[in-house]
């Protein structure tokens, strides 16, 4: 094939793939995740736009709280948006410090969504914490945090992760916890195989009324019954059918 003939085919394949991804993402419960970077949010507009849930960054490491957390936590609830809090794990701080910090700042509320532990690598160029810890050490810290959070909040926590961290650390472990995966260029089964997952962050360039600029968009896989089960205290991760999203 001549070099000039390859480009249109690549564009067509890319376009078809993106359409498939958008179709899959739009077929389930829609939500967002936010932090200080979204600024002041009009949660009433967010609710009116059809957003069905939100995860709000609360803490990072053992000494940082997101400056918009308290505001978002209170106003989202007042607007009727189901919301949960997440902690960004810092690999250069002891796990017990991070557990204590999260508990100090995120209240125990019966109607809150299950807490989330965000585990990913900072990246080699990061000045904050460039190292990657060994798998056994990472898994031990994650398990310690999750067990403490479940006991404290009475709900099974969820793990948020990225493709590289999943492949390095989680691929064969922690199947008992619901998994929230990030993949913005493909559907999850193309990146995470047959691993069970319940939430998918499918773009970091979403637009939602009430939020200035981009926001992460997510889908929860399941019907209303599955959602009520997830939001309750006795959620158990399930295998999507087939593998989370039906693809034709």
Positions annotated as catalytic residues are: 120
Q: Is 45 within 8 Å of 210 (Cβ atoms)?
A: yes
Rounded to a whole number, what is the largest CA-CA distance in the chain? 63
- Distance of CA 152 to CAs 13, 87, 108, Å? 48, 14, 8
Q: Is 77 within 8 Å of 110 (Cβ atoms)?
A: no
Q: Is 105 within 8 Å of 69 (Cβ atoms)?
A: yes
Q: What is the DSSP string of 87-107?
A: EE--TTS-HHHHHHHHHHHS-
Phi, then psi, of 7 in degrees rounded to 5: -65, -45
């Amino acid at each position: 094939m001549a070099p000039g003939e390859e480009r249109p085919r690549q564009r067509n394949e890319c376009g078809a793939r993106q359409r498939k991804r958008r179709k899959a993402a739009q077929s389930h419960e829609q939500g967002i995740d936010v932090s200080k970077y979204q600024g002041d949010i009009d949660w009433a507009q967010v609710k009116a736009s059809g957003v069905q849930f939100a995860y709000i960054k609360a803490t990072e490491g053992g000494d940082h709280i997101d400056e918009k957390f308290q505001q978002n936590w209170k106003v989202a609830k007042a607007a009727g948006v189901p919301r949960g809090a997440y902690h960004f794990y810092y690999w250069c701080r002891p796990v017990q410090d991070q557990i204590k910090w999260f508990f100090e700042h995120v209240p125990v509320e019966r109607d809150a969504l299950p807490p989330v532990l965000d585990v990913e690598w900072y990246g080699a160029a990061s000045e904050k914490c460039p190292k990657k810890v060994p798998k056994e050490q990472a898994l031990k810290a994650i398990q310690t945090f999750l067990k403490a959070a479940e006991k404290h909040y009475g709900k099974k926590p969820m793990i948020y992760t990225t493709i590289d961290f999943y492949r390095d650390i989680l691929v064969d472990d922690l199947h008992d916890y619901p998994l929230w995966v990030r993949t913005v260029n493909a559907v999850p089964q193309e990146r995470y195989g047959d691993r069970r997952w319940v939430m998918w962050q499918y773009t970091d360039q979403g637009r939602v009324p009430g939020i200035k600029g981009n926001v992460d968009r997510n889908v929860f896989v399941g019907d209303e019954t599955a959602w009520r089960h997830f939001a309750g205290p006795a959620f158990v991760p399930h295998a999507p059918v087939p593998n989370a999203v039906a693809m034709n």
